[in-house]
Structure 1
Amino acid sequence: MDIVLDVLNRLRGHLLSSSSPMARPTKVLQCDSTSISFSDDSDSPYISDLDTSNAIHTASKLLHDLQPVAFPTETVYGLGALALDTTAASRIFSTKGRPPDNPLIVHVSSQAMLRRVLPPEYRVSRTYEVLMKHFWPGALTLLFPTDPGLVPPIITANQPTVAVRMPSHPVARALIAVADAPIAAPSANSSGKPSPTKAEHVLKDLDGKIDLILDGGACGVGLESTVVDGLNPDGNLRVLRPGGITVEDLERVLREEFQDEVSTPKVLVHRRDYTDEIMEEAPTTPGMKYRHYSPSVPVILMFTSSAPPPHDERISYTSFLESLRSRKPSGADTIKIGLLIPSDSPSLEKFRDTQGIEWCLYQMGRIDDPSITAQRLFDGLLSSERDGADVILIEEVKEEREGLAVMNRVKKAAGEYVWLEQ
């Protein structure tokens, strides 16, 4: 009798597994960004390429079927769902494995659509009008008051503000406009991993978890948007997350637009110019509370110009390389190391030593052009992981212009810091 029951149970298990749905491979549809345009007097896109138009309409239908889709923005690839539908938004969290207290950014395609997510009585400040005039569409996210009757609390993590931006990537903006709905979209990757800047990055991570990726090529900025809070009583701007729009850009525009005013709003950077422990525990914007941007292998941030803190000391390159050799996998003759470093770094010559080391070099652009470093950062991390690196090294850049955003991401990705002798 026990044997019969065992056979029946095995047969039942086989039938259940056979009838369970299999994950379908994710479809990737190419989009020609150059075929998309917006006129000054219309929020609707003109799409001259039929395949691109069909791809965007297919994605729009999936969104309205409450399914998330991945699409390119100028910053990184986003995983989008209808922002004003709780069920749709919840599928972003389940697909990414995202903590529920990590809010989402809402993307709109026009000023008219912005009004649809704001409380009816809210009036946009002059400072925000200036910022939107200069940086929308673009890589700038602004915090606005939220009405939980309009924007589901799952989007804001029950915070009193909602983060909104208008992307400048033609595919992103066209998708939002065609869907005729605000789209919530964090980066299209498993939570905590480096953000994707190419469709192939998304496919490698989320294949079978989503139905569709719109492939609009590599992202131009390469880092997430700058998030700004301008709702403070003092009238100053607080940069909660540095990104594609630099602090210097913000300061320049405010100086120009407020030159005839009594005072110009200041631009204050979180953890550089001020701290807010309460907000860090209950963040109003993504990327503040949790460790982010980390590949599956250890990342070491190398400080080559910054002074070490009091409890740390500089070590020689020779000692550092020896410590890396000691990490080689058991039974291996060498250790494979991903090296993300400026193409003109003085340190580059120090890493020519190949004894026991196989280098995977990813040049991050010139030291004086941090925008290229920003553009290549996530691709360098993901490429190092793809190429089988055992350890990834990243050399620091100056925290100026896009370098501020680069170091913000690198410090969160790195599990170890080392200060090297100059």
Structure 2
Amino acid sequence: METKIFNKDQLDEAAKLLSQGQLVAFPTETVYGLGALATREDSVKKVYAAKGRPSDNPLIVTVADEEMMRPYAKEVPERAEKLIKRFWPGPLTILLFVKEGTLPEAVTGGLKTVAFRCPDDQLTHDLIAKLGKPIVGPSANTSTKPSPTTAQHVYHDLKGKIAGIVDGGETEVGLESTIVDLSVEPAVVLRPGKITPEEISEVLGEDVRVNTGKVGDKDVPKAPGMKYRHYAPAAQVYVVDDPESFKTLKLDESCGVMALGRILDTLDLPLANKFDLGRDLVDADHNLFGGLRYFDDMDQIKKIYVQGFTEGEESLAYMNRLNKAAGGHHL
């Protein structure tokens, strides 16, 4: 299969492919998503095949606006309305009860809930609006690998497996959206992201919890990223909790280091073995997946040491992804 790259003037062609049941990757402000008609089970199943994704891992339904979401939600409670008004379009995914019979089991994983997202990206908004129907939108990468933040990342993983990619340049945020579960009270953040539990709590006027439990082998996760290995390159990743510890590591050309620029400047290591996460945590959020992918393309790299952050809720999303990439290995 030829994988075509579409620009902003070719959205009609991309929408046509989606309407025909094909897969088309699309940009968002967080990471690139892999689109398929959410209402066609045969299309959705192609997503699992292209990604090598476990079939019990439910998918997020991506919509152009709230009105497109309503036919598929059993109800849109006042709590959801408040969050939509404050954060949509934007990097917040909302889990609601699904209206029975409206979406295939391949989307919901057989659960009574489904997650909805309205991205803050004009290209994707226009694409879905042209299609007139919602699409699923998991990250457009091979399952378990770091999520894609450029069209080139998508092409690297899925060339020949999908029909097209809408190229919107590099993503702004770099980490997937926050997922909040409104099917329970109080609300629970199932996956941290740019929008923090504190921000959600302020809007809802209730204490918002953060999920810390593990999903059993036989259980279906409520949302992506809760059960299976994620974000991991081929080399073993280690989280370096104290920046001073970088100075004590025995580094050689088989090692890659990802840290803030001021930390990298203190290390005696070839430039190619360093990846600059930027000046602060905001930059690190944006650059984390890019760095993991940078070293994943280098066969000689066997270990990747990555700077950790302890900045409260602001670092929840970064550390969630990094801990999964590292499999819990800390220094």
TM range (shorter): over 0.9
Q: How far apart are 1:208 and its partner, in Å? A: 1.0
- The DSSP-based 3-state class of the residue aligned with 1:406 is helix
Amino acid of the structure 2 residue aligned with 1:410: L
The match for 1:218 among 166, 170, 177 is 170
The correspondence of residues 77-96 of structure 1 with structure 2, limited to 5 A, is 77-96=32-51
Secondary structure class of the residue paired with 2:318 = helix
Query: CA–CA distance in 2 between the matches of 1:392 and 1:364?
Result: 13
1:299 touches 1:416 (CA, 8 Å); kept in 2? no
Alignment of 1:301-340 (within 5 A): 301-304=239-242, 317-318=247-248, 320-321=249-250, 325=252, 335-340=253-258
Q: Which residue in the other structure is 1:288 paired with?
A: 226
Task: Report Cα offsets for 1:183-230 as digits up to 9, x if no partner.
Answer: 001000111100000001011111111121110011111111100012
Q: Does 1:366 align with 2:279?
A: yes
Hey, what does 1:197 align to over in structure 2? 149
User: Aligned pairs, how many?
Assistant: 330
1:393 aligns with 2:309: no
Taking the aligned partners of 1:316 and 1:98, their CA distance within structure 2 comes to 35
Distance (Å, rounded) in 2 between the aligned partners of 1:102 and 1:416:
21
Amino acid at match of 2:237: V
Q: 1:366 offset after TM fit, Å?
A: 2.6
User: How far apart are the structure 2 equivalents of 1:297 and 1:276?
Assistant: 24
The answer to whether the 8 Å contact 2:97/2:114 transfers is yes
2:92 aligned partner: 140
Deviations 1:76-112 (A, max 9, x none): 0011000011011111011111100100000111221
- Taking the aligned partners of 1:380 and 1:250, their CA distance within structure 2 comes to 29
Tell me which amino acid in the other structure corresponds to 1:158. G
| Cα deviation, residue 278, structure 1 | 6.1
For 1:277 and 1:415, how far apart are their aligned partners in 2?
A: 15
Decide whether the 8 Å contact of 1:280 with 1:289 is kept in 2: no
Give runs of aligned pairs for residues 214-253 of structure 1, distance below 5 A: 214-232=166-184, 235-253=185-203
What whole-Å deviation, never above 9, does each CA across 1:102-124 have from its counterpart, x for those lacking one? 000001112211112123xx2x2
1:300 to 234, 238, 247: 238
Say whether residues 1:154 and 2:111 are aligned partners.
no
5+ residue gaps, structure 2, are: none
Q: Pick one of 275, 292, 298 that aligns with 1:381.
A: 292
User: CA–CA distance in 2 between the matches of 1:154 and 1:216?
Assistant: 28
Identity, % of aligned pairs? 41
1:168 aligns with 2:120: yes
Match for residue 341 of structure 1 among 247, 259, 262: 259
* Deviation by residue 1:241-294 (Cα, 9 ceiling, x = unmatched): 00131223223434xxxxxxxxx31111111xxx36569932110000001001
Counterparts of 2:218 and 2:32 in 1: how far apart (Å)? 25
Alpha-carbon distance in structure 2 between the residues aligned to 1:64 and 1:343: 45
| 1:59 alignment partner AA | A
Deviation of the 1:125 alpha carbon: 2.1
Match of 2:60 in 1: 105
Cα shift at 1:350 = 5.2
Tell me the secondary structure at the aligned position of residue 188 of structure 1. Answer: coil
Mark the CA change 1:360 to 1:107 in structure 2 (over 3 Å): closer, same or farther. Answer: same
**Other structure's SS at 1:377 match:** helix
Partner of residue 265, structure 1: 206
Amino acid at match of 2:290: D
Give the superposition deviation at 1:358.
6.8
> What is the one-letter code of the residue matched to 1:381?
L
Question: Normalising by the residue count of structure 1, what TM-score does the alignment of the two structures yield?
Answer: 0.74
Q: Which has the higher contact order (CA 8 A, sep 6+)?
A: 2
SS at match of 2:107: helix
Q: CA deviation at 1:151?
A: 0.9
Structure 1 CA distance for aligned equivalents of residues 33 and 246 of structure 2: 41
- Structure 1, unmatched stretches of 5+, are 1-22, 32-51, 255-263, 306-313, 326-334
Letter in 1 for 2:23: P
CA–CA distance in structure 1, aligned partners of residues 217 and 122 of structure 2? 34
Distance 1:278 1:338, change over 3 A: closer
More divergent stretch after superposition (238-247 vs 379-388): 379-388
After superposition, the Cα gap between the structure-2 partners of 1:137 and 1:316, relative to the gap in structure 1 and judged at 3 Å, is closer
Q: CA deviation at 1:376?
A: 0.7
Offset, 1:30:
2.2
Query: 1:128: how far off?
Result: 1.3
Residues 252, 372 of structure 1: CA spacing in aligned structure 2 closer, same or farther, 3 A cutoff?
A: farther
Q: Which amino acid aligns with 2:127?
A: L
Give the TM-score normalised by the residue count of structure 2. Answer: 0.93
2:217 and 2:81 map into 1 onto residues whose CA distance is 25
Residue pairs, 1:33-44, within 5 angstroms: none
Give the alignment of 1:14-33 within 5 angstroms.
23-24=1-2, 26-31=3-8
Partner SS for 1:417: coil
